[in-house]
Amino acid sequence: MKVAVIGSTGYGSAELIRILEQHPHVEIGALISSSRAGEELSAAFPHLSHLAIDLEEWDAGRIAERAEAAFFAAPAGVSSRFLPELAEQGVSVVDLAGDFRLRAGEYKEWYGKEPAPEKWCNQAVYGLSEWMGDQIRQARVIANPGCYPTAALLILLPLLRTGAAVQGPLVIDAKSGMSGAGRALKPGSLFCEVNENLFPYKVGSHQHTPEIERYAGEIGGQPIPITFTPQIVPMNRGILTFVYAPAASGWTTKKLREMLADTYAGHPFVRLRSEGEWPRTKQVQGSNFCDIQAQVDSRTGMIVAAAAIDNLMKGAAGQAVQNLNLMMGWPETAGLQLHPVYP
Amino acid sequence: MKVAVIGSTGYGSAELIRILEQHPHVEIGALISSSRAGEELSAAFPHLSHLAIDLEEWDAGRIAERAEAAFFAAPAGVSSRFLPELAEQGVSVVDLAGDFRLRAGEYKEWYGKEPAPEKWCNQAVYGLSEWMGDQIRQARVIANPGCYPTAALLILLPLLRTGAAVQGPLVIDAKSGMSGAGRALKPGSLFCEVNENLFPYKVGSHQHTPEIERYAGEIGGQPIPITFTPQIVPMNRGILTFVYAPAASGWTTKKLREMLADTYAGHPFVRLRSEGEWPRTKQVQGSNFCDIQAQVDSRTGMIVAAAAIDNLMKGAAGQAVQNLNLMMGWPETAGLQLHPVYP
Amino acid sequence: MKVAVIGSTGYGSAELIRILEQHPHVEIGALISSSRAGEELSAAFPHLSHLAIDLEEWDAGRIAERAEAAFFAAPAGVSSRFLPELAEQGVSVVDLAGDFRLRAGEYKEWYGKEPAPEKWCNQAVYGLSEWMGDQIRQARVIANPGCYPTAALLILLPLLRTGAAVQGPLVIDAKSGMSGAGRALKPGSLFCEVNENLFPYKVGSHQHTPEIERYAGEIGGQPIPITFTPQIVPMNRGILTFVYAPAASGWTTKKLREMLADTYAGHPFVRLRSEGEWPRTKQVQGSNFCDIQAQVDSRTGMIVAAAAIDNLMKGAAGQAVQNLNLMMGWPETAGLQLHPVYP
Amino acid sequence: MKVAVIGSTGYGSAELIRILEQHPHVEIGALISSSRAGEELSAAFPHLSHLAIDLEEWDAGRIAERAEAAFFAAPAGVSSRFLPELAEQGVSVVDLAGDFRLRAGEYKEWYGKEPAPEKWCNQAVYGLSEWMGDQIRQARVIANPGCYPTAALLILLPLLRTGAAVQGPLVIDAKSGMSGAGRALKPGSLFCEVNENLFPYKVGSHQHTPEIERYAGEIGGQPIPITFTPQIVPMNRGILTFVYAPAASGWTTKKLREMLADTYAGHPFVRLRSEGEWPRTKQVQGSNFCDIQAQVDSRTGMIVAAAAIDNLMKGAAGQAVQNLNLMMGWPETAGLQLHPVYP
């Protein structure tokens, strides 16, 4: 099956191409980049100089002729304008941006942009693969989750669904490697400004906050305000997220871990670490795994729970392909049997 | 004045020597290292090959002859045995280890070692310079705070003392550069295991937990259980600590910031960042500064507060010298006017 | 076909396992580790916790029953003792150590260990895939090239074979990421000692020197003394090697580049960069590519030529699998269509 | 004495301010930045938020009223236009850019800009402190050496002056941390593009090449063509440079080392490492030291020599202050007794 990638010069696209190139059921049909159309892919990504592919202009009709599915890997605000045209021509679409994840009002408030058409927002299925599999299998448009929400929800949802976490001030402290910031030119993204540095940003105002809250409510069953603090760590890839919440009565570390094991039985990409062993970002680097762990701090009665992912894989391109697999009825792991790159 | 450094081959000692070598009132009288006595300092620290100093055996009498003050920069368990002998000879001592920071029972429980003699534990003053100045000026033995507790308490104590933070599940999420782990040879400390990695350790069981709790009670006036999660970030130096606590009624970001400005007026090493600007570890690297910031997340009612330090400076050697300055009646900043090294 | 890996707890083995697990013609039959036999693979490599494989004791008979081919990924001195026993049972072997790459006298001099039995040394084929393909296809024992020699020879051999480089003082300045040093516990390998540092080691005495010289002579046709300076760069993976040699008369940048293009036509893993574009280690990271470039510095008459590889892939495990593919008559790229991981 | 810094928002300026702020004989009189005049220094350098200094417009008259000496730390092409006006008013000037280092024709060719007025070019003294001390003491305008030339010449000049190195194809392979590239916004300077990467640039065409050649001739007495290859290493600070040249007859490692020891006796900032120990960039980080080493490779007859500096200190701001000290008749080390920051 042929697929297209729209917005083909960012890190998420490079990762999509890396996966698709060795996916058993897929072939790249078109790479679209408005800003660099006409150039070779290798002008944007010299590491892919062995692939002779040209970047092309956006043209929904031509894409639809040459691809049955497409990934939007463009910045926020692009897919809301262009995706419907492609979807209407029968192309199955996975959108890696935030345009179809929020209700219109929230999108406007947190992204400061015009929301996508309501009809398509309603049709889009939130692509948190492990929790939305049934809906994803039926879907034609997938709103692929953000990198922070993926890690946060995979560890948070079981706590909410089972009532392990008491409603209350729920804290999410998350740290990401720098590729999450994309390839845009900003003074604060220079090597010397990030290397040997650790810093928070958008404290209390990150656009992934309403996304976590919305699906904590819709999937987890508990609409709950979340204090969310993202931070940048001097590395390329990886997210490590801690969730802190008061434990409900009767919940012990043992019970928590059993519940997590049950929840993710049959889900090959979620690995519950052994007791006492905590997720490390390097252990999932380059792979689609999400490693998780949780304990009850018996001194304080708090649940301490963590998840680690590669932000470009399970946090973006990997989960996007996992969702395509589900939509197409292929094995969930097709093209994703990439083991972590270590060290 | 001549000073001695005991335990002279770790990173904390290298930093002490860097400061002392350009301190206007101090000269290095003796460097003690049991494991490498007889070698030159440059065998342990080739970057100091321009200093012709030999490492010597421990001999309290000889040290007391040649130094009026001493720093213990040895691993836990050393100063508890050797410090009293030196202090009894009239030498003023700053201990950088944890041996004199906790009550005997807690020390035994969290460090798994025999505690220091009670008499000396009682005499030791906790060297959190900005909060214990009056006691430090009178002291002969200083228990220099741990790196995590320094950052945590400098931002937490104002919240507790003013009642800004409601008692409740108090969460401290802290990240440190790798030099905090010292120079010991462990598989997990190899470059390839730490680089491009981010990982928690001793979750719920780090020995700095009871230290924070004790002084949150004794100085902050609120004995409070703390959920503490330390993490290692792939960089050499720096600690960034977030404190999360429910805000008491009436506390806004504005009021919080005014209170912090008041609290640290006249304290040159604590810098309240401008509103909306958060501490970054690189901005304090190589200096004795502690940068702080706080806000009330109006959506959730939580106080989000942060502090950044260089773990080897304000978190160890820098604060140790600051405490010596206070003990000796010198200007607090003597020898510490080292600006951050940037980038 | 089942294969075994002997010496299964180093970085080279982790990389072999990453490749073999998704190789279309291969299955892992046994993982041998004397030091950790009886443990699960995930005890050594937590990032592979999804693979339920146990580490086993060395037992040539049992291995031969369960594997038709084997990789030795142990430190120098192991394969010289154990490999013959396995090869005698008809198992095809690729040795990633240096034991079978040198003549006995040189091995003794540069490695300071007892050389392998002469009979097997003579039988072993040097596995520089692009240059020794015909011999490799016939071989039963492969001496897989060292990481530095792979990069050095791939750019040096064409210069020697064509006479582009005049015999004379030939300089090779090479830099490697830290994984080349392996997983052994040494003070100089600690994160804080390597991070933000750049340093040479074994200047003029690295054991890869005679390997480069031998095959520069045997394959390149010019026995030539080489000044070789290895250096460590603060990153996990990657080797960048510069070769400096006086240009023979008549050689221009254009002629050099045409010659290189000809030399490696039909060799999918060697990529000649566009004119003016130089190899970068990140552009081959995680892949089996070797990127090359060369020019004549018209001001000085010197050839400046460079090659970049991932030291664990083309410099170790990747080339080892490439050699297995050649030995077995499979496509050279089988299992190696891993695109660079970027960023 | 009051000094001014012109071009105050780059990394070189930050380093100058770090030094000047603790220099015993100097006070900062004015910080000039055309692009950010009117802003506070801390807007450009938040790590210096404790210094309340404003950035000002260029105004030669006003600067001359308030400063007896000035540093130009602006990009190439600025000082050639503005420095003469200031120097004419009697202000002693150290220029950190390349504008006064080359002859007019070479400057035009390698920098592609209009050269500085000939009169001032002729008057400017090349500020390689250890070699030009007598001239620097008399000078009013100093052309502070480039970062690469400083390291290269400090190890190369002794070889040339003593005839240890035979004229011939002289190779300089140099690697630098990223701060050498400055703070300009370029896609290739983003964290994710540099981290875990090692790459050459301007191979054979770097503008420091003619600078090394010129002073190799003028100071070293041997006009000699140089093959120069600069490379970027993923770290903030540090340059490590290797020089390769055929050894003249009779030169051994022992004789080389004795010669180097003699050459730099009495020069406190050059440290000859012990035999067999090679310079490492981290061992000079944050300091004005230049560490050197050399040997004769007896197998090949080549001299292998190396120098390491901190590119922002001895390679820029540190040497600039060293030169000011010499000009003013102060101790050469005034304000520069900053020990390496380790780790």
Active site (annotated) includes residue B147: yes
- Give the pLDDT of residue C222: 86
- Which positions in chain D touch C240 (Cβ < 8 Å)? 198-200, 231
The reply to whether omega before D234 is within 30° of 0 (cis) is: no
Q: How many Cα atoms sit within 13 Å of B235 on the Cβ side?
A: 32
Residue C199: partners with Cβ closer than 8 Å, 6 or more residues away: C231, C232, D240, D278, D279, D280, D281, D282
Please state, in angstroms and rounded to a whole number, the distance separating the CA atoms of residues D332 and D268. 9
User: In the β-sheet with D270-272, what is the strand arrangement from edge to edge?
Assistant: D199-200, D226-232, D170-176, D239-246, D302-309, D290-297, D270-272
Taking an 8 Å Cβ-Cβ cutoff, which residues of chain C contact chain A? 11, 14, 17-18, 21-22, 45-50, 179, 196, 236-237, 268, 271, 273-274, 277, 280, 282-287, 289, 337-343
Tokens 């300076």 appear where?
C229
Per-residue DSSP letters for B93-149?
Answer: EEE-SSTTTS-HHHHHHHH-SPPPPHHHHHHPEE--HHHHHHHHHH-SEEEPPPHHH
* Token pair belonging to A167: 């409603």
| Contact call for A341 and C48, based on CB within 8 A | no
- Give the pLDDT of residue A169: 78
User: In the β-sheet with A2-6, what is the strand arrangement from edge to edge?
Assistant: A55-56, A27-32, A2-6, A69-72, A92-95, A141-143, A125-126
User: Please, which residues bridge with residue C158 across strands?
Assistant: none
Residue B119, number of CB atoms within 10 A of its CB:
9
- Give the pLDDT of residue D163: 97
ipTM for this model: 0.96
| Contact call for A48 and C340, based on CB within 8 A | yes
Confidence band for D244, pLDDT divided at 50, 70 and 90? very high
- Which positions in chain D touch C286 (Cβ < 8 Å)? none
How many residue pairs bridge chain A and chain B with CB atoms within 8 Å of each other?
161
Show the CA angle centred on residue D145, arms to residues D139 and D149, nearest 5°.
Answer: 145
Whether A195 shows a pLDDT value over 90: the answer reads: yes
- Give the pLDDT of residue D222: 86
Q: Which residue from D11, D284, D342 is facing B343, i.e. has the nearest CB? A: D11
Query: Over the stretch D50-85, which tens digit does the pLDDT of each residue have?
Result: 999 999 999 999 999 999 999 999 999 999 999 999
Query: What three-state secondary structure class fits D304?
Result: strand
**Dihedral sign for Cα atoms in the order C85, C90, C91, C94:** positive
Q: What is the DSSP letter of C90?
A: T
- Give the pLDDT of residue D8: 83
Q: Which residue of C has its CA nearest to D282?
A: C197
Query: Over the stretch B147-198, which tens digit does the pLDDT of each residue have?
Result: 999 999 999 999 999 999 997 779 999 999 999 998 999 999 999 999 999 9
- Give the pLDDT of residue D121: 94
Q: Find the mean pLDDT for residues A63-87.
A: 97
User: Please, which residues bridge with residue C141 across strands?
Assistant: C93
Active site positions of C, annotated: 147
φ and ψ of A171, to 5 deg? -110, 130
Confidence band for B27, pLDDT divided at 50, 70 and 90? very high
- Which positions in chain C touch A46 (Cβ < 8 Å)? 273, 277, 280, 283
Please state, in angstroms and rounded to a whole number, the distance separating the CA atoms of residues A135 and A125. 7
Q: Of how many residues is chain D composed?
A: 343
Query: Over the stretch D2-31, which tens digit does the pLDDT of each residue have?
Result: 999 999 899 999 999 999 999 999 999 999
| Contact call for B194 and C191, based on CB within 8 A | yes
Whether C6 shows a pLDDT value over 90: the answer reads: yes
Please state, in angstroms and rounded to a whole number, the distance separating the CA atoms of residues A96 and B188. 35
Q: Which residue from C21, C47, C285 is facing A342, i.e. has the nearest CB? A: C47
Q: Which residue from B11, B192, B196 is facing C192, i.e. has the nearest CB? A: B11
Report the candidate in B269, B339, B312, A199 with the shortest Cα–Cα distance to residue D14.
B339
- Give the pLDDT of residue B223: 85
Confidence band for A331, pLDDT divided at 50, 70 and 90? very high
Whether D167 shows a pLDDT value over 90: the answer reads: no
Can you say how many angstroms the Cα of residue A108 is from the centroid of all Cα atoms in its chain? Answer: 21
Q: Which residue from B185, B195, B234 is facing C185, i.e. has the nearest CB? A: B185
Report the candidate in D254, D343, C40, D18 with the shortest Cα–Cα distance to residue B311.
D343
- Give the pLDDT of residue C223: 85
Whether D235 shows a pLDDT value over 80: the answer reads: yes
Contact, A61 vs A4, CB < 8 A? no
Q: Which residue from A186, A191, A236 is facing D178, i.e. has the nearest CB? A: A191
- B335 to chain C nearest CA, in Å? 25
- Give the pLDDT of residue C169: 78
- Give the pLDDT of residue A8: 83
Report the candidate in C36, C311, C285, C335 with the shortest Cα–Cα distance to residue C179.
C311
- C219 to chain B nearest CA, in Å? 34
Instruction: Return the residue in D185, D190, D237 with the most chain A beta carbons within 10 A, the one to mutate for interface testing.
Output: D190
- Could you list the beta-strand ranges (E) of A214-255: 226-232, 239-246
Q: What is the DSSP letter of B190?
A: B
Tokens 């001097």 appear where?
A234
Can you say how many angstroms the Cα of residue C299 is from the centroid of all Cα atoms in its chain? Answer: 34
- B103 to chain D nearest CA, in Å? 33
Confidence band for D132, pLDDT divided at 50, 70 and 90? very high
C-alpha distances (whole Å) from C55 to each of B177, C8, C18, C30 are 34, 8, 16, 8
| Contact call for D199 and C295, based on CB within 8 A | no
Contact, B320 vs B334, CB < 8 A? no
Query: Over the stretch B66-83, which tens digit does the pLDDT of each residue have?
Result: 999 999 999 999 999 999
Going by DSSP bridges, is the β-strand pair C239-246/C302-309 parallel, antiparallel, or unpaired? antiparallel
Query: What three-state secondary structure class fits D316?
Result: helix
Contact, A12 vs A96, CB < 8 A? yes
> For chain C, which residues make up each domain, given as ranges?
2-123, 148-311
Contact, B174 vs B152, CB < 8 A? yes
Query: Over the stretch C52-77, which tens digit does the pLDDT of each residue have?
Result: 999 999 999 999 999 999 999 999 99
- Which positions in chain D touch A234 (Cβ < 8 Å)? 191, 195
Confidence band for A238, pLDDT divided at 50, 70 and 90? very high
User: Please, which residues bridge with residue D71 across strands?
Assistant: D5, D94
Q: Which residue of C has its CA nearest to D240?
A: C198
Pick the CATH number of D148-310 from 3.30.360.10, 3.40.718.10, 3.40.190.10, 3.10.20.30: 3.30.360.10
Given the residues A121, A147, A192, A290, select the one marked as catalytic: A147
- Which positions in chain A touch B169 (Cβ < 8 Å)? 168-169, 244, 246, 300-302
Architecture in CATH for domain A2-123: 3-Layer(aba) Sandwich (3.40)
Given the residues B121, B147, B192, B290, select the one marked as catalytic: B147
Instruction: Return the residue in C192, C281, C282 with the most chain B beta carbons within 10 A, the one to mutate for interface testing.
Output: C192
Q: Find the mean pLDDT for residues C260-272.
A: 98
| Contact call for C187 and B185, based on CB within 8 A | yes
**Dihedral sign for Cα atoms in the order C310, C315, C316, C322:** positive
- A280 to chain B nearest CA, in Å? 5
Instruction: Return the residue in A147, A198, A239, A257 with the most chain B beta carbons within 10 A, the one to mutate for interface testing.
Output: A198
Q: Which residue from D45, D287, D340 is facing B342, i.e. has the nearest CB? A: D45
Percent of residues, chain D, with pLDDT higher than 70: 100
- Which positions in chain A touch B197 (Cβ < 8 Å)? 235, 238, 280-282
Taking an 8 Å Cβ-Cβ cutoff, which residues of chain A contact chain D? 11, 178-179, 183, 185-187, 189-196, 234-236
Report the candidate in D160, D92, D158 with the shortest Cα–Cα distance to residue D127.
D92
- B277 to chain D nearest CA, in Å? 10
Confidence band for A211, pLDDT divided at 50, 70 and 90? very high
Query: Over the stretch B221-236, which tens digit does the pLDDT of each residue have?
Result: 988 899 999 999 999 9
Q: Which residue from D48, D237, D274 is facing B339, i.e. has the nearest CB? A: D48
Can you say how many angstroms the Cα of residue B150 is from the centroid of all Cα atoms in its chain? Answer: 5
Contact, D242 vs C230, CB < 8 A? no
Taking an 8 Å Cβ-Cβ cutoff, which residues of chain D contact chain A? 11, 178-179, 183, 185-187, 189-196, 234-236
Helices (H), chain D: 11-20, 41-44, 60-66, 79-88, 104-111, 118-123, 129-138, 147-161, 191-194, 208-218, 253-263, 318-328
Instruction: Return the residue in A185, A189, A190, A199 with the most chain D beta carbons within 10 A, the one to mutate for interface testing.
Output: A190
Architecture in CATH for domain B148-311: 2-Layer Sandwich (3.30)
- Give the pLDDT of residue B168: 77
Mean pLDDT is lowest, of B260-264, C16-20, C293-297, D180-184, for D180-184
| Contact call for D183 and A190, based on CB within 8 A | yes
Please state, in angstroms and rounded to a whole number, the distance separating the CA atoms of residues B198 and A308. 9
Query: Over the stretch A149-191, which tens digit does the pLDDT of each residue have?
Result: 999 999 999 999 999 999 777 999 999 999 999 899 999 999 9
φ and ψ of A125, to 5 deg? -100, 135
Whether A194 shows a pLDDT value over 80: the answer reads: yes
**Dihedral angle computed from the Cα positions of residues C261, C265, C271 and C274, in that order, rounded to the nearest 10 degrees:** 30
